[in-house]
Structure 1
Amino acid sequence: MGVEAMPIKIIEDLPVRKQLQQEQVYTIESSRAISQDIRPLKILILNLMPLKETTELQLLRLLGNSPLQIDVDFLHMSTHKSKNTATSYLQKFYKTIDEVKDDYFDGLIVTGAPVEKLDFDQVGYIKELRSVTDWAQSHIYSRFYICWGAQFALDYYYNVEKIRLDEKLFGVFPYQNKEASHPYIRGFDDVYHVPQSRHTRVDYEKIKTIDQLKVLTCHPDFGPDIITSQDQRDLYIFGHLEYDRDTLKKEYDRDASSGQEVQLPINYYPGDNPEKTPLFQWKSHGHLLFNNWLNETYQNTLYDLSKLPEL
């Protein structure tokens, strides 16, 4: 008999729930979950992306494919006025750091954000983000930073510089598995494909000098993709294994229709023909990474989260 996926607990009436149910990603509402005698994993998602529902759906698909019960809460920056998401939506489905500051969580996911061309100090909510990052050291067991979120965290923790690329890294690229036995990339192929969409990179030479960091996967030209701290409580990824098949297509179509001179995503469309359906080359590794992260968090987190050791 196979192991069934447990439901993820989400707030009542979250709009993407209907789509998740259609995809047979199981969810459970708070009113039902509270009656179950289960110690679920508590995951907090700091969603910095402008299209909140798209990112919610991508991440919940991956978190929901697990035999563990996951309780998910969403966090937003109270010091940022969203242009793409109604305030009423954020008030109903999201929390602020003031609302969760006395709570403890097993895991935190910090998404990317479309602000990578700005210096960190130019980002309007950077002070609040730094406060959340400090709070997470004592209130969250495992932290998972994605794309710009990873660049920010590495700069904040270790002074690893963010460097502007001459041209945008845009497409799907092969990365090499350098630490096949590491639990975060258990099951990864020797070479796997990753969607990238960014204008910046991190200083790889600086990372090599930091004993607290381990590079798990790497590209010979573009540098690392997945990095972890030696204690495995912090995970960083610069690519987007959570992306849907058509995420890069939507980005390309958006920029092309606005009159920008935009390059075709590399290694994405069959025959580089944008009229053809893009190849979905990273889906299995996205599920592997998130399942591995959840499993490692479950195996190592404390039952009483209030006793978490601060780094």
Structure 2
Amino acid sequence: MSLILPDGLPAIKRLKEEHIFIENCTQTEDRSTRKLRIALLNIMPIKEITEMDFARVLSYSPLNIELTLMKLRTHTPKHASLEHMERFYTYFDELKDEKFDGFIVTGAPIEHLEFEDVSYWKELSEIFAWADANVKSTLYICWAAQAGLYYHYGVPKHQLPTKKFGIFRQKVMNPTLPLFRGFDDTFNMPHSRHTEVRAEEIRIHSELDIVAESAESGTSIVYAHNGRQIFITGHMEYEPYTLDKEYRRDKDKRDDVDVPQNYYIDDNPANKPNVTWRAHANLLFNNWINYYLL
């Protein structure tokens, strides 16, 4: 089947080069085959990279999936052109009456702020409430996982002494969950964050279940309401060189940037990344689609 993206989205050219079958909305207007609709609220700074990351992992499903890009009315991105946002993104208030099967909320580089101090927190809270009432399952990613746990359950975030940066081994705590069908007992997950949520503050909520965690990086996946809410504190969607680009960008700005852990071959930044998470990433998103959206 195919991944259905907005006409002209820049990610399409790159994805086709990777032999991913893409169609546009116009090509599928007359199709009788059912398609799943997934909305992506992309609040990461570099929109085009994030669009491609999620389009890539969603493309492994054998189903027709239409990806709709959502934006906030109360936030103007600094690193995306106005033309790009107007052409490919739609405001939440223009989408809230449409039906979506799944919803994904990305991270954002605003961990230093208290949630209520985020300029678009009120609108984001409205979106979280809308998703909970109208979407079969929502994936909250990285900062959004912390924000979602705080909004829905009052779980606080905490500043880390040093940035959690690299690839960390995770243990599957509930292997019977459909989310982990086909998984090994452990899997790797990229992390890039300055804050954390703590297991002891999650476990006091009977609605929440920590289903994957790490001795090194802590809580990684929290599961609620039979999968209607899934909170992922890392970035399974990352492509191989995302952490490398982040490391080199920050290293050019200051001298105290640590090398991402367990990432480069022989832990040497002169070498290429050792990609150890992509198979489980594809399986995770495919399981989410098959068992939580259908």
Matched-pair contact (CA < 8 Å) for 1:248–1:265: yes
Q: In the alignment, does 2:207 pair up with 1:212?
A: yes
Matching residue of 2:228: 233
State the partner residue of 1:14. Answer: 9
Question: Counterparts in 2 of 1:53-202, with a 5 A limit?
Answer: 53-202=48-197
Counterpart of 1:169, as a letter, is K
Give 1:183's aligned amino acid: P
Question: Is contact 2:137-2:293 (8 Å) kept?
Answer: no
Cα distance in 2 between the residues matched to 1:132 and 1:71: 20
Give the structure 2 partner of residue 3 of structure 1.
none
**1:233: Cα distance to partner?**
0.8
CA contact (8 A) 1:145 1:237 kept: yes
Say whether the 8 Å CA contact 1:214–1:230 is kept in structure 2. Answer: no
Counterpart CA distance in 1 for 2:129 and 2:212 is 27
The AA in structure 1 aligned to 2:235 is: H
- Mean Cα deviation higher: 217-226 or 84-93: 217-226
Matches within 5 A, 1:33-72: 33-72=28-67
Counterpart contact for 2:5–2:24, Cα < 8 Å:
yes
Give the match's secondary structure for 1:169.
strand
Structure 1: gaps of 5 or more residues: 1-5, 300-311
CA deviation after TM superposition for structure 1 residue 59, in Å: 0.3
- For residues 92-141 of structure 1, the C-alpha deviation after alignment (integer angstroms, 9 at most, x for no partner) is 10000121121111000000100111111121111111111112222211
Q: Is the 8 A contact 2:102 2:293 kept in 1?
A: no
1:263 deviates by 0.6
The answer to whether the 8 Å contact 2:132/2:228 transfers is: no
> Counterpart in 2 of 1:294?
289
2:240 partner SS: coil
Letter in 2 for 1:88: E
Given that residues 188 and 276 in structure 2 are in contact (C-alpha distance below 8 angstroms), is that contact kept between their aligned partners in structure 1?
Answer: yes
Q: Which aligned runs of 4 or more in structure 1 are off by greater than 6 angstroms? A: none
Identity of aligned residues (%): 39
Asked whether 1:258 is paired with 2:272, we answer no
**Structure 2 unaligned regions, length at least 5:** none
Secondary structure in structure 1 of the residue aligned to 2:236: coil
Do 1:45 and 1:109's aligned partners in 2 also have CA atoms closer than 8 Å?
A: yes
Q: Could you list the per-position Cα deviations for residues 227-250 of structure 1 after superposition, in whole angstroms to 9, with x for gaps in the alignment? A: 111421111101111111111111
Between the aligned partners of 1:194 and 1:37, the Cα distance in structure 2 is 38
RMSD, matched Cα: 1.1
Deviates more, 1:213-222 or 1:90-99: 213-222
The secondary structure found in structure 2 opposite 1:105 is coil
| Distance in 2 of aligned mates of 1:190 and 1:137 | 30
Aligned length in residues: 294
Measured in 2, the distance between the counterparts of 1:154 and 1:128 equals 16
- TM-score computed with the length of structure 2 as normaliser: 0.97
Matched position secondary structure for 2:257:
coil
| In 2, Cα distance between equivalents of 1:101 and 1:94 | 14
Q: Does structure 1 conserve the Cα–Cα contact (< 8 Å) formed by 2:136 and 2:293?
A: no
